[in-house]
Amino acid sequence: RVSRGAHAAAGTREGWKPQDTDVTQCDYWRHCSIDGNICDCCGGSLTNCPPGTRLSPSSWIASCFNPGDNQSYLIAYRDCCGKNVCGRCGCLNTEGELPVYRPEFANDIIWCFGAEDDAMTYHCTISPIVGKA
Amino acid sequence: MEETMTHAHNPSEMLKRYRAALIGGVATLGLLAGGAAYAQEGPRGSELPKQLGQEATSDLEDNPVILSAPEPDARRIYVTDPAHFAVTTQHFTVDGNTGKVLGMVDGGFLANPFASSDGSFFGIASTVYSRVAKGQRDDYIEVYDSKTHEVIADIDIPESRFLVGTYPWMTTLTPDSKSLLFYQFTPSPQVGLVDIENKKFVRMLDVPDCYHIFPSGNDTFFMHCRSGTMAKVTFDKDGKVEVKETEVFHAEDEYLINTPAFSLKAGQIVWPTYEGKIFLVDISSGEAKFGQHFDVFTEEEKKDNWRVGGWLPVAYHRGTNEIYLLGDQRAKWTHKYSSRFAFVHDAKTGKRIRKIDFGRDIDSIAVSQDDNPQLYALSTGEKTLYILDAATGKEQHSVPELGHGPQVIIAHDN
C-alpha cells in the first residue's frame, strides 16, 4: 500500500533487512509481511489492539527471521478493525507474500473476518507469534 | 430566552442592530420566520441562511453553470485513490489528451471502479458505514453518466463485497455492459450478479475456490483457481451455474500477480509472474486457450535481479499486440514496490521491442487503445500521473495531487 519513498521506513527494492530493537519501524523483524499500519503507533502495542477497535480472530501469516536469535517464527497478522485507517507508521512488507489465490499468505486482504460487531474497516495490524516456523 | 434579553446592550441585541443596519432588517424578520419553521419541521442544514438576506444570493455579472465532461474517447481514464485503506476514497476522471482532471466521484471503503466498454457510463462498487468506520454496513453499486457525472443508478447489493486492496478485475461489467459481476470471498467464494440495465441486484452465484472475473460473453466469465487452472463459469438469471475447469497451466511456485491486464474487446488476459514470465490466456472463443508463454527478462537480466514490481505492473495494447511490463533490479519478495522501467514486448513473438526509462518510481501503468497510444504511469508516492507517448516514452502531461495514495487506472476501451 505504501509506495517506496512515501514513508521513511517503508521497504525498498534492496530487500528485507530485519532489526529486533524498534517495533514502531517497518523493518522490525516481525513485520516482514505487514501491510498497513503498525498498531503500536496507534494506541495499541506489538500484539494488542488500540482502545475502541475490534480484534480480528483471522489472519494471514508469514515466516519471519528474527536476527536476535537466528530463528524463524510464524507471525499471524491480525487486524484491529472498526475505525478509519490509523495513518501512522504505514508499512508494506512482502516477504513470502503470495497472490490472492493463496489467501493465507496474501496481505492486500482486509483481515477483519470474525471481529466483533462485524467490524470490517481497517485500522492497524498486530504481529503476534504463532510458533516456530 | 427572549424574556431575558431586555437589556439594550446585551450581545444578541447588538448583533441584531448590526444586522438591521447592514441589510435593512430583513434578517430579524427572517430569524423569526426561521424560528417558526424550526419548531415545526426541525432543521435541514441546507436552507439558505436567512440572516444573510438577499445579499447572499444576489445577481452576478458572470453566469456560473455546472460543467459537463466532454464525450469520452480512447484517452479517457479513471484514476482511483484507495487512500491507504481510508474509509472514503476519490476517483478522478482524467482526459489523457490534455492531462486535465475533468471531474471526480466519491467512494467509500476500497471502492472498486468499472467502466462500460462504449464509454457511456462508469461506476464504483462501494461500501459505507452509518458511523464513519463502524455501525451499519451498506454495500452498493453506483453508476455515473460519463459526461455529467450524475448518478444514473444506485443499486443496493448484499453486504458481501470482498474488501481488498483494489484489483480491477474483481468487479467487472459483461461485454454488453448490461450486467455487473463482483467477487465475494467470505463466507465462501461467490460472484454477485447485478442487472445494471434494470438497476437491481439479481443473485449470488456459487463458484469454486477461484479468483478474479474475466467475462468472455454476457453469460460467461473465467476465473483463475487456486489449483492453477482457469474455470469457465456459465450462468443464467435463475442462478443456474455451470463450471468447467481447464488443465493446470502454471506451476505452484509460479506466482501470478493480483492485477493482470485484460482486454475485454480482444478476450486476452496477460498474466505475469513475480519473475517476469508472461502467461497469455485467450478467452475470445469462449474457451480458455493458452498461448506460448515467454520471459520478459533475459537469463542475464535475471542474474542481475531484474524482476516485476508495482501495483498494476502490466498493460496490453490490443491493436499492436504489445505488452508493457514494469520492472527493475530488485531483491526477491519486493514485488509490490515501484519500478523505474517498462519493458515492451510483442505478445506473439515474445520479443522485446523497446524499454522505457521513467527516471522515477512508478507503481501502475495503463495504455490507451488508439493508434498512437499514450502510456499512463502512476506514482503512488508522488500522487502524480505521468502521461507519456507510448512509442517514445516522451512526457506529454503530468497530473499531480491525485489524492493520498492513487493506485489504479482504468479505461472503458480495453
Q: What is the pLDDT of residue B110?
A: 98
Give all strands (DSSP E) within B35-75, no chain letters: none
| A69-128 per-position pLDDT tens digit | 999 999 999 999 999 999 999 999 999 999 999 999 999 999 999 999 999 999 999 999
The arithmetic mean of pLDDT across residues A28-49, rounded, is 98
Give domain status of residue B39, yes or no.
no
Task: Give A83's DSSP letter.
Answer: S
Q: Are residues B317 and B363 in the same domain?
A: yes
Q: How many domains does chain B have?
A: 2
The arithmetic mean of pLDDT across residues B262-282, rounded, is 98
Q: Are residues B221 and B357 in the same domain?
A: no
Residue A62 C-alpha from the chain's centroid: 10
B190: exposed, middle or buried (C-beta count within 10 Å: 0-12, 13-18, 19+)? buried
Residues of B in contact with A87 (CB under 8 A): 84
What is this structure's pTM?
0.91
Tell me which of A27, A35, A79, A111 is the catalytic residue. A79
Q: What is the pLDDT of residue B32?
A: 46
| B321-344 per-position pLDDT tens digit | 999 999 999 999 999 999 999 999
Q: Are residues B148 and B294 in the same domain?
A: no
Of B85, B164, B331, the CB nearest to A100: B164
Give domain status of residue B278, yes or no.
yes
Q: Is A20 a catalytic residue?
A: no
Contact present, B170 and B212 (Cβ < 8 Å): yes
Give CA–CA dist B18/B319, Å, rounded: 70
Give me B375's grid cell. Answer: 502510456
Q: Are residues B240 and B263 in the same domain?
A: no
Q: Are residues B301 and B240 in the same domain?
A: no
Give domain status of residue B321, yes or no.
yes
Binary contact (A1, B224; C-beta < 8 A): no
Give domain status of residue B141, yes or no.
yes
Q: Are residues B244 and B262 in the same domain?
A: no
Is residue B27 scored above 50 in pLDDT? Answer: no
Give the active site residues of B.
109
Tell me which of A60, A69, A111, A118 is the catalytic residue. A60
Give domain status of residue B383, yes or no.
yes
| B171-227 per-position pLDDT tens digit | 999 999 999 999 999 999 999 999 999 999 999 999 999 999 999 999 999 999 999
Domain boundary among B248, B277, B303: B248
Q: Are residues B220 and B83 in the same domain?
A: yes
Q: Are residues B9 and B158 in the same domain?
A: yes
Binary contact (A110, B85; C-beta < 8 A): yes
Residue A44 C-alpha from the chain's centroid: 13
Q: Are residues B205 and B261 in the same domain?
A: no
Give CA–CA dist B279/B159, Å, rounded: 34
Q: What is the pLDDT of residue B38?
A: 52
Contact present, B271 and B260 (Cβ < 8 Å): yes
Binary contact (B255, A6; C-beta < 8 A): no
Residues of B in contact with A72 (CB under 8 A): none
Residues of B in contact with A85 (CB under 8 A): 83-87
Give domain status of residue B315, yes or no.
yes
Q: Are residues B241 and B320 in the same domain?
A: no
Give domain status of residue B392, yes or no.
yes
Domain that holds residue B231: 1-31+66-248
Q: What is the pLDDT of residue B237?
A: 82
Domain boundary among B224, B248, B272: B248
Q: Which residues pair with B352 in a beta bridge?
A: B345
Q: What are phi and psi of A116, to 5 degrees?
A: -55, 150
Give CA–CA dist A67/B25, Å, rounded: 77
The CATH number given to whatever domain includes residue B211 is: 2.130.10.10
Residue of A nearest to B330 (CA): A13
Q: What is the pLDDT of residue B265?
A: 97
Q: What is the pLDDT of residue B16?
A: 54
Contact present, B62 and B50 (Cβ < 8 Å): no
Residues of chain A whose beta carbon is less than 8 angstroms from a beta carbon of chain B are: 1-6, 11-16, 35-36, 82-85, 87, 90, 92, 94-103, 106, 108-110, 112-113, 117-123
Q: What is the pLDDT of residue B53?
A: 85
Q: Are residues B243 and B276 in the same domain?
A: no
Give CA–CA dist B170/B181, Å, rounded: 8
Give domain status of residue B199, yes or no.
yes
Is residue B301 scored above 90 in pLDDT? Answer: yes
Domain boundary among B187, B222, B248: B248
Q: Are residues B285 and B395 in the same domain?
A: yes
Residues of A in contact with B379 (CB under 8 A): 3
Q: What are phi and psi of B354, to 5 degrees?
A: -165, 170
Distances from the Cα of B109 to the Cα of A41, B139, B196, angstroms:
22, 10, 21
Q: What is the pLDDT of residue B25?
A: 41
